[in-house]
Amino acid sequence: MASQSQTPKCFPGPAAGYTQSFWRTQPDPLDSYQSTPELPTETDILIIGGGYVGASAAYHLLSDQKEPAPRVVLVEARELCSGATGRNGGHLRPDIYSATATYTERYGLEAAAEIVRFEVAHMKEIEDLVRKENIACELTFTRSLDMYLDEDQLKKAKIFYDSLISQGLDFMDDVKYLSESEAQKEAYVRDAKGGFSFPTGHLWPYKLITGLIRIAVANGLNLQTNTPVSEISQSQNPDGSWSVSTNRGTIHARKIILATNAFTSALAPEYSKAIVPCKGVCTQIVAAPNAPHQELPGTYAIRLGPGAYIYQISRQDGSLIVGGASHTFKHDLSEWYNNPDDGTLVRNMEHYFDGYMQRTFFGWEDSGAEVKHIWSGVMGYSADSLPHVGNVPGKTGQFIAAGFNGHGMPVAYLSGKAVANMARDSVSFRETGLPRLFETSLERLKPVYNDILE
C-alpha cells in the first residue's frame, strides 16, 4: 500500500501533500521543472494549472508555429499533473446514453446530442494526437461494459436507450444491449441483470500530459511547477494586464487561462457555488502471481443501484484501476464535499476494495487479487453537471475551462484547445464549436440545479 502523506489540509487551494497514485510512480523529468530560475514578471498568456486542460492549452497555444508565437507561462501549484488528471481512473469513456437522459430532459435532445458527439470525437482526437506526437501513454481501445445490478435502474436505462435507437441517432450505431445471461457469461459480472456495451478507451493520463508539456516546452512554454497562485488582482492594470501573485513573486499577464478545475473558486470566488471540490478514491488492484483469473473483455462501469457505481479499466500489465463507490461515504459530507484535500484518503475507504474482484467477477475467486495502491483525488463537481468553458463573466482577458466532474478525459482536451484559441486568436465561444451547454455565464454561477448533493 502507498504511504499516506501527513501534511495538514491547506484549504482552499491544492494541498501541499497527497496520497500517491499509481500513475505518478514513474516521475517524468518535467515533474518539478522550472524553465527559468525566476518567475517571469510578465507574459502574454498565463495558464494556471498543469493538468489535462493546462497541458492541452499549452500544447495548442504553441504547436502550430503561428507567428508571432505568444509568450506563454504555465504555473502549477505542485508537481506537474499532480491534480485530478494524475490520480484518476484513466478511462477515456464517452458517456453515450447515461447523462444524456438528464440533459435531454432539461435542455432537449439536440443540445444533449452535441455533448455526446463531442465526447465521442475525443476518441479519434486523442488517437490522432498520440500517433502524430508519438506519445507513449498506453492508449488502448476496447469496449466499455456498463453493467446493472439493479433491475429497476436497468429498465429505466433501457427505455431511454430504446428511444435513442428508434430515432436512428448516429452515435447509437455501436451501442449494444446485453441481456442478463449475456452480461453474466460474456462480461463475467456476478449478479448483473444486463447492461450495455460501446467503444471506449483508456490510457496512462500522466504520460499523456507530460508528453504534451514536453512538446510545449520545446516550442517555448515557460513551465513553472511548485508555484501556487494565491491571488489574481480584482481589476485590470492600466495596460489591460492582470496582476497574479504567487509564492515566487508577481507576474503580469495580458490573458489568463484558469485550468484550475476543483480549485477554481480559490482564485475566482464567483465560481464557489458552480464548481465545488469533491473528493474521490481510486486504486490499483493486482492478481497474485500465477493465480488463475478470467481475462476481462473490456472496461467496466458496475452500476450497483441509483447513485452507486464503480469504474474499472484493465491495464496492459494485467493490473486493474478501480475507483468510485462514493455511495459508501456520500452521507459523510465533510469527508468529500467541498473538500480539496488529496493528502488523506476518505475515512473508512481503506478496505472497501479489498476482495472487490473476487466478489464482483466470475473467474476471479482464486485470483488472490489485492489492492496495491490506493489514493484520493479531488474533482471539480459542477452544480449542473456541465463544465464551465469560455470567458470568465465580467473579467476581460480571463478564460476558464473547469468543472469536469469525474468525467474529464473525453471532455477536457478539446475544451483546453478551445480556450487556447479564445485567448490567442480572440475567437468567440460559438466559433470554438464546443457544445453550447458548456459556455460559462453569469446565470450558471447562480445554479438552479444542485446535482452534487441531490
224: β partners: 34, 75
Which of 31, 45, 60, 89 lies at the binding interface for ligand FAD (CB under 6 A)? Answer: 89
Instruction: Please identify which residue in 311, 364, 381, 429 interacts with ligand FAD, judged by CB under 6 A.
Output: 311
Q: Can you say whether the dihedral through the CA atoms of 412, 144, 208, 262 is positive or negative?
A: positive
Nearer of residues 77 and 157 to ligand FAD, judged by Cβ: 77
Q: Which residues of 420-442 are buried (b: 16+ CB within 10 A; e: fewer)?
A: bbbbbeeeebeebebbebbbbee
Total binding residues for ligand FAD by CB under 6 A? Answer: 46
Q: Is 340 in the site for ligand FAD (CB under 6 A)?
A: no
How far are the Cα atoms of 149, 252, 327, 374, 441 from residue 308, in angstroms, in the given order? 10, 45, 5, 19, 31
Strands 299-305 and 140-148 come out as: parallel
The yes or no reply on residue 211 touching ligand FAD (CB under 6 A) is no
Per rule CB under 6 A, is residue 201 in the interface with ligand FAD? no
* 3 state SS of 318: coil
Residues 262-291, one symbol each (x = binds ligand FAD by CB under 6 A, - = not), give xx--xx------------x-x---------
Q: Using the rule CB under 6 A, is 76 a contact of ligand FAD? A: yes
C-alpha cell at 197: 456495451
Residue among 198, 191, 186, 194 nearest 91 (CA) = 198
| 194 touching ligand FAD, by CB under 6 A | no
**Least separation in angstroms between CB 51 and ligand FAD:** 2
Which residues inside 375-434 make contact with ligand FAD, applying CB under 6 A? 377-379, 402, 404, 406-410, 412
Residue from 45, 46, 53, 189 in contact with ligand FAD (CB under 6 A): 53
Per rule CB under 6 A, is residue 229 in the interface with ligand FAD? yes
Interface residue with ligand FAD, options 88, 326, 344, 367 (CB under 6 A): 88
Q: What is the dihedral of CA 286, 289, 294, 299, to 10 degrees?
A: 30
Q: Helix, strand, or coil here: 10? A: coil
Rounded distance between C-alpha atoms, residue 424 and residue 422, angstroms: 6
**Applying CB under 6 A, which residues contact ligand FAD?**
13-14, 48-54, 75-78, 82-85, 87-91, 228-229, 259-263, 266-267, 280, 282, 311, 323, 377-379, 402, 404, 406-410, 412
